[in-house]
Amino acid sequence: MTFGILIPVGEEMMIYLGVTTKEMNGVIRLGAELDIYNGVPSLTGRYTATFDDTFATSVHGTVDTYGNWLVGAYLGWRFKRNAAGKKLYSVSFQIDPCNFITYDIDRNDEIVLGEMHAIFGDSEIALRLFIDMDENGNRVIEKEEFYNQAPQFIKECSVLDQNEGED
């Protein structure tokens, strides 16, 4: 069982309670979060399961005191082929952590917490980074906000910002 309390600066607070169980052929995670962001409490529940690296499922839902809600689900299968005699390729991706478009998945010129979770998974890093980057506290990171905050909170952007002054 996992229990954590995250209390960043300001009015933001998150309490997380989670259970992880490892079965013989998979992992099941259950979690609940109570999040207070700019004085508005919300409750989130999650269920995630993976089995044999071939099947994954996830369901989550959030509701706040204003009646706003969000429900999401994911279901996936990965089929394995017999690779005997086939050439396997090593593939890696390089992304620019200092580019707004990297995080703006739906290309609507704003980043929401769900997009951070899509990149970093349902992790504490996604939540902390989002809270830190949301300069005005409106639960959305606009392009200008991102470029103002990135050098302060993303290590790679801080290095780029310092190197730009060396020309």
Q: Which residues 6+ apart lie within 8 Å of 103 measured at CB? A: 111, 115, 116, 119, 141, 146
3-state secondary structure the chain: CEEEEECCCCCCEEEEEEEEEEECCEEEEEEEEEEEECCEEEEEEEEEEEECCCEEEEEEEEEECCCCEEEEEEEEECCCCCCCCCCCCCCCCCCCCCCHHHHCCCCCCEECHHHHHHHHCCCHHHHHHHHHHCCCCCCCEEHHHHHHHHHHHCHHHHHHHHHHCCC
Higher pLDDT, 133 or 79: 133
pLDDT at 109 over 60: yes
Q: Do domains 1-78 and 96-156 have the same CATH topology?
A: no
Name the residue with tokens 């409750």. Answer: 43
Q: What is the pTM of this model?
A: 0.46
Q: What pLDDT, in 10s, does the model give residues 13-25?
A: 666 666 666 666 6
Q: Are 35 and 113 contacting, i.e. CB atoms less than 8 angstroms apart?
A: no
Domain locations in the chain as residue ranges: 1-78, 96-156
Q: Indicate the burial class of 151 (C-beta count within 10 angstroms; 0-12, 13-18, 19 or more).
A: middle
pLDDT at 35 over 90: no
Confidence grade of residue 148 (pLDDT, cut at 50, 70, 90): very high
**CATH superfamily label, 96-156:** EF-hand (1.10.238.10)
- Multiple choice CATH, 1-78, 3.40.50.261, 3.60.150.10, 3.40.30.10, 3.30.1300.30: 3.30.1300.30
- So what's the pLDDT on residue 165? 44
pLDDT at 157 over 80: yes
